[in-house]
Amino acid sequence: VFYLIDPLLGAANLLIDLGDLAAAREFLNEAGAIAAELGLADRLLQYHILEARLDHAAGDTQCALERLREMDRQATEPQQQATVLYWRWRVGGEDNDRTAAEDLYAKLCRRIPKFDYTMRLEELRDQTTGSENLFE
């Protein structure tokens, strides 16, 4: 059952981007149930972020932001906090969320230069300064 989670989350993500919210909800609910049953905190984080994105895509930005604020209160690891702040910025457009996410991703990149962190940092920096050297 574990091997189903990532494809289900990936499908939900794609379906949200394509606007097929009902199908996205089905995939998301199944992935969330499996992640909860197996106690997979990282996949549950993805599940909750996709839930917020789904709310936002359905026109309920306030509910999406409240979900993300609650996730922010529960996030204990820097990568979790950075991810939640990134999505708060993407959904709500608040510059303070962008700045906080940028700071966390910069610290994460210095510690663990993962591709995902570098790409997020580049996107966050491009919003205010244009293209910057990520390794300054």
Residue 75 to residue 94: CA distance in whole angstroms: 19
pTM of the model: 0.87
Residue 97 to residue 95: CA distance in whole angstroms: 5
Domain ranges of the chain: 1-67, 75-129
- Which residue is it, tokens 């409240």? 66
- What is the sign of the dihedral through the CA atoms of 115, 2, 47 and 51? positive
User: Reduced to 3 DSSP states, what percent helix, strand and coil does the chain have, rounded to the nearest 5?
Assistant: 85, 0, 15
How confident is the prediction along the chain (136 residues), in pLDDT tens digits per residue? 889 999 999 999 999 999 999 999 999 999 999 999 999 999 999 999 999 999 999 999 999 999 999 999 999 999 999 999 999 999 999 999 999 999 999 999 999 989 999 999 999 999 864 333 333 3
